Amino acid sequence: MVSTNTSETILLAGYLTPHADKRARSVELWRAIADDIRSTEKGKISMELYEDQGREKWQEGFIVLEEFATQAIKDAFNAKPSHVAVSTQVREEGLISDFKIGYYKHVFGVGKTIGGHEREEKVLMAVFVTVNEGKTGEVLDLWKDIAEDVKRTEGGEVAMELYSMHEEVGGGGEEKGEKFFLVYEFVNEEARETFGKKPSHVEAIAKEREGEMLKNVDFKVCKRVLGSGSGIKAA
């Protein structure tokens, strides 16, 4: 069985759109943050940056992920002058035109760890989703079935993690229903394509849509740019 993780693990998941002429500077600053995390946090924090790949060409956005083992580690990280100075610099220099970002708590997951290692071909499928009121139980049951299937069939080439909304800090809406961040990571593009073609996975996802359980589903397929830390949690 896929175990539900009740640990304190907290994920910061954000989708950010740099101004067209500021992309390189944005990545440069995020790399400085990653280097700072690597040198100061000693594996307590994972930070990963993925660029939106789209289906046919690179698009405008980035997914940034930071994972903290506990709330206390998150609070301490945010209070450090170096981290705060760099993130403030990103905003003050007018690099980002749009963003939505929030903190999520880990619910469950399977597969190898996400992030933290230099496998540059890695592909991420990140999903920001709001569940219709009264449907959370059904959705969780469905996602657990998918996680079981991933664990049974993928041989460690796919990681799947589910996080529930813990705190929204930007770009939030007023829609009703519980919010989740669902993330799949694939060792390469071939693994992603194979995963999407499997009848068991496809049927489960179709059931998700046909059951009208979800609203405001925002899928992003992204390719890894940089990262540091010990990796996003996998049960």
Read off the pLDDT band of 165 (50, 70, 90).
confident
pLDDT (tens digit, 9 = 90+) per residue, 122-131?
Answer: 788 888 888 9
pLDDT of residue 226: 66
pLDDT (tens digit, 9 = 90+) per residue, 94-118?
Answer: 888 877 777 777 776 765 555 544 4
pLDDT of residue 152: 85
* Inter-helix orientation angle 136-153/199-210, to 10°: 170
| pTM, to two decimals | 0.79
What's the mean pLDDT in 70-82?
Answer: 87
What's the mean pLDDT in 194-214?
Answer: 82
Read off the pLDDT band of 66 (50, 70, 90).
confident
Nearest to 3 by CA among 104, 105, 107: 107
Question: Could you confirm whether domain 10-228 is CATH 3.30.70.100?
Answer: yes
Please tell me whether residue 10 adopts helix, strand or coil conformation.
Answer: strand
What's the mean pLDDT in 75-100?
Answer: 82
Amino acid at site 225: V
In the chain, domain spans: 10-228
Q: Of 11-15, 38-42, 123-127, 219-223, which gets the smallest average pLDDT?
A: 219-223
What distance in Å separates the CA atoms of residue 97 and residue 91, rounded to the nearest whole number?
9
Q: Decide if pLDDT at 120 tops 70.
A: no
What's the mean pLDDT in 79-106?
Answer: 80
What distance in Å separates the CA atoms of residue 109 and residue 113, rounded to the nearest whole number?
10
Q: Of 14-18, 64-68, 97-101, 112-116, which gets the smallest average pLDDT?
A: 112-116
Place of tokens 């740099």: 18
Q: Are the beta carbons of 65 and 232 closer than 8 angstroms?
A: yes
What distance in Å separates the CA atoms of residue 201 and residue 198, rounded to the nearest whole number?
6
pLDDT of residue 229: 55
pLDDT (tens digit, 9 = 90+) per residue, 38-58?
Answer: 888 877 888 888 888 765 444
